[in-house]
Amino acid sequence: MNENKDLNPGTVMLIEIVGAVFCLLGSGWIYSGKGVIGIILLISYWILLFVEVFIIIPLVGVITLGFGLVFYFLIPIQNIIVGAISGLIVKGNME
């Protein structure tokens, strides 16, 4: 349920998607008044990105003799997709 009836669900969804593009997943949740969920999403996504950027992709790069490093270019696409999914969930949660 929506704790604040003045908030537009579309605006909250947009904040979540734009925040995710800049690695701030959970910003829409925080803005909508669900701060605990937003902070959990933010910290867990940062941990995921850290593991992905500093462990998984370099390991794949070493195994594939450098060709696996192309996965660094997929991170912005991942941010948009994850942000859109989270944005749709927070929007549906508010309606």
Residues contacting residue 68 through CB under 8 Å, at least 6 positions apart:
57, 60, 61, 62
CA 93 → CA 9, 50, 61, 64, 83, distances in Å? 9, 29, 40, 42, 15
- What would the pLDDT profile of 15-33 be if each residue is shown by its tens digit? 999 999 999 999 999 999 9
Please check whether residue 84 lies inside any domain of the structure: yes
Torsion angle defined by CA atoms of residues 84, 85, 89 and 92, in that order, rounded to the nearest 10 degrees: 60
Please check whether residue 3 lies inside any domain of the structure: no
Query: Against a cut of 0.85, is the pTM above it?
Result: yes
- What would the pLDDT profile of 47-70 be if each residue is shown by its tens digit? 999 999 999 999 999 999 999 999
- Number of structural domains (the chain) is 1
Please check whether residue 73 lies inside any domain of the structure: yes
Range of the domain at 83: 9-94
